[in-house]
Structure 1
Amino acid sequence: MALFAFDAQMASIVRGAREPMLAQIRLQWWLDVMTQPAALRPSANPVVAGLLPAEAAGVDLTAALGPVVRGWEALLAPNDAGAWQAYVEGRGQLFTVFDQLAGTGVRDTSLRLGRIWAAWSWVREDAGAADAQRFAISADDLAWLASVRLPRRLRPLSMLGRAALLDIRRARFDLPPGRPALFAALVWHGLTGW
């Protein structure tokens, strides 16, 4: 959960940005904090404190989460042609950290799922209907998403992928996330992997 809390913190900085420069300063603060020794970090910040177990488990926070910060930062320059791809690539790296912590050895699969999740999540949570056109998934990625099976320890990530798949198939990104049909499908997937 600490990794998703970290991602949510980055999202709140970017989503709440009225001045891109100020948001960049706040994102840089996070990068600077991750490079400091644990004893020098602000201990009162619950997100910083929540990352300590991941670091203790051997995760290099700067290498693992730096791309996530840079991905969110890319959205501060929406007119940049590469911003969308940089966001998807960077934020998608979050799933590889879960793979590293779980020790499942499916980094490439986690990264591919993370990229799809990042794009879907942005369209679902942040983009308007007109912006949803930026979200395009190839037929290969759609077929892959329908068939991918992650190890049991990564089933929560697989459930996020399943939620994305259901929205993509319906071409509807505005349906409530707590709708009964989605809930039932995710519970079934969580229990069986299918």
Structure 2
Amino acid sequence: MTDAPAAPTPPPAIEAVMREQALAVGYAPASARDGFAALLDLDHQLASILQSTTEPMIGQMRLTWWFEALEKLDREPAPAHPVLQRLASSVLPGGVRGADLAPMIEGWEALLDDGEPLDDERVARHAEARGGVLFASVGQLQGQAGMAPLGTAWARADLAQHVSDHAVRARIAGAALSELDGVLTAKSPKPARGLSGLAVLARESLRHPDRLPGHPLRAARLAWHGLTGR
């Protein structure tokens, strides 16, 4: 099977998130920016599968295609898909294998609607496999180890923004805010401020839900973090 093509123009809300993320990428070392952006593109691609799929079985099939496609990057030329080609050209040369990225699929599989409640185990599986793998991979490109906990907290906070059940959202947001406060205690080293900047923006979303992506105070907060690491 082949994956459905990405929408040519993302919704305005997604565009605002992507613009913020592009600002955060700008705080990464120049040598890692293309790979950082490519990995965020992969995350958006996987998120779009859940957003556009109403049948869990179809969603599972599409995620399985991506799992296999990522693993094949280690032994075959990238197929004619822009996300996979960007990964092959800007991520794999930095020592991150396709097999290292494939576990991200498991993070998104944890959210497939099978009628079961979104309990803490599923949330943790999503956050660790999605955010932990994503941030660890970007960290490897930047020569920064230990980025997985930051990514786990970021993914948990991001998930909280997309849960419709108020009680579940409050539970996830509370845990995410506590986790973010813990991982953002120390001053972030300069090479890691692109990644930690994403975590800072995630915490801003929880602390100030009225400030949507694109709000000038969010941009100012990111700029301050980029300059100071705080």
TM-score surpassing 0.5?
yes
How far does residue 12 in structure 1 lie from its aligned partner after superposition? 0.3
Q: How many residues are aligned here? A: 186
Cα pair distance change 1:174/1:13, threshold 3 Å? farther
Q: By how many angstroms is 1:66 displaced?
A: 1.7
Counterpart CA distance in 2 for 1:158 and 1:128 is 27
1:137 is aligned to: 175
**1:63-74 counterparts in 2 under 5 A?**
64-74=100-110
Distance 1:69 1:2, change over 3 A: same
Number of the residue aligned with 2:142: 102
Q: Distance in 1 between matches of 2:76 and 2:43?
A: 22
Residue type at the aligned position of 2:124: Q
Residue of structure 2 equivalent to 1:41:
78
Give the structure-2-normalised TM-score.
Answer: 0.73
- Aligned pair partner of 2:155 in 74, 95, 118: 118
Runs of 4+ in 1 over 6 A off after TM superposition: none
Q: Relative contact order (alpha carbons < 8 A, sep ≥ 6): 1 or 2 greater?
A: 2
Corresponding residue for residue 98 of structure 2: 61
Q: Which range moves more in the overlay, 93-102 or 51-60? A: 51-60
Q: Distance in 1 between matches of 2:209 and 2:130?
A: 19
The one-letter amino acid paired with 1:103 is G
Question: d(CA) in 2 for partners of 1:50 and 1:118?
Answer: 22
Name the CA shift for 1:67/1:174 in 2 (closer, same or farther; >3 Å): farther
One-letter amino acid matched to 2:224: W
Once residues 99 and 142 of structure 1 are traced to their aligned partners in structure 2, the CA distance between those partners, rounded to angstroms, is: 17
Distance 1:67 1:134, change over 3 A: farther
Q: CA RMSD in A?
A: 2.1
Contact 1:146 1:165 in 2 (8 A): no
Alignment match, 1:75? 111
Equivalent-residue separation in structure 2 for 1:147 and 1:47 (angstroms): 34
Counterpart for residue 180 of structure 1:
216
- 2:147 aligned with 1:147, yes or no? no
Q: Answer whether contact 1:77 1:83 (CA < 8 A) is retained.
A: no
Structure 2 residue runs of 5 or longer lacking an equivalent are 1-36
Deviations 1:102-158 (A, max 9, x none): 112x22xx111101110111222x223614223132786354244133322221111
2: CA distance between counterparts of 1:39 and 1:166? Answer: 41
User: For structure 1, which runs of at least 5 residues remain unmatched after alignment?
Assistant: none
Match of 1:5 in 2: 41
TM-score by length of 1: 0.85
Q: Which amino acid aligns with 2:154?
A: W
